[in-house]
Amino acid sequence: MGDCRRVGVAVDFSACSKKALQWAVDNVVRKGDHLILVSIRPETNYEKGEMMLWVTTGSPLIPLNELSDPLIMKKYGVNPDPETLDLISTASRQKEITVLMKIFWGDAREKLCESIDSIPLDFLIMGNRGLGKLRRVIMGSVSNYVVNNASCPVTVVKSID
């Protein structure tokens, strides 16, 4: 990927991840960058052909034109919403950036940290789900884990509802 910056955005197509993606497009990405959407899927039955190859390394980098193809996305178990697709398509054209997606399967905390080194990313932007204090103690905060364990700068875009 040469001298371009690789800006990662964690996406699960929720409202908070869309807000993080919008913030990244508005404030971080610039001409020539690679905007890499990092999606973490829950572990599943890997007996389906290609998926067995991707368990440890994640999917191949998926180009923007394939992200809007429902048949290709079904193969990965991902269903990008029209709002997200419009946002990244517009950003790609207007900012002259390359948009790619990489999908990992497993625990979001661990896989986001792994993605930073395996892609590799120059930095990562992610949203927070806004869990209350008790739920965060019980379930753990993905954003808190990633901020404390990532090998690159991480920005958490807080969702204020």
| Domain boundaries defined on the chain | 6-156
pLDDT at 95 over 90: yes
Tokens of 70: 């429902």
Considering the segment(s) 6-156 as one domain, its CATH architecture is 3-Layer(aba) Sandwich (3.40)
Burial class (CB in 10 A: 0-12, 13-18, 19+), 161: exposed
**What gap in Å lies between CA 31 and CA 33, rounded to an integer?**
6
pLDDT for 4 equals: 86
pLDDT 10s digits, 145-160: 999 999 999 999 987 6
Per-residue pLDDT tens digits for 27-67: 999 999 999 999 998 876 555 555 556 666 788 999 999 99
Q: Which residues pair with 38 in a beta bridge?
A: 10, 102
Smallest CA-to-CA distance from 6 within 115, 109, 149, 79 is with 115
